[in-house]
Amino acid sequence: MCTVPGESVESVSVAIVMAVAEREGITPEELRPLHDVVDPDALDALCTTSEISVAFPYEGYVVTVTADEPIHLEKH
């Protein structure tokens, strides 16, 4: 299962939006909707499997979600 660093959130997709907003110093509502880039329901469903590695661009970052590792944000 994908891990969410440090916080209790309802899903990996929500955690991604929160992490990017925190990194940028803005509120999550100020970001482009994640569903413009990736299907959040599909991403959350993939995170229930033990083997996953997904990377996609979002708001100037490359977001990488890997099984059993925290969400990784790399400035693009």
**How far apart are alpha carbons 16 and 18 in whole angstroms?**
5
Per the model's pLDDT, the better-predicted residue between 67 and 27 turns out to be 27
Asked whether 61 and 73 are in contact (CB, 8 A), the reply is yes
Structure tokens at 37: 């880039």
Tell me the mean pLDDT in the region 58-70: 88
Reported as a single tens digit per residue, the pLDDT across 5-46 is 555 667 889 999 999 999 999 999 999 999 999 999 998 888
Provide the residue ranges of all domains of the chain, joining segments of one domain with +: 12-75
Residue 73: CB atoms within 10 A of its CB come to 19
State the pLDDT at residue 31. 97
| pTM of the complete model | 0.83
Q: Which residues contact 43 (CB under 8 A, 6 or more apart)?
A: 12, 13, 54, 65
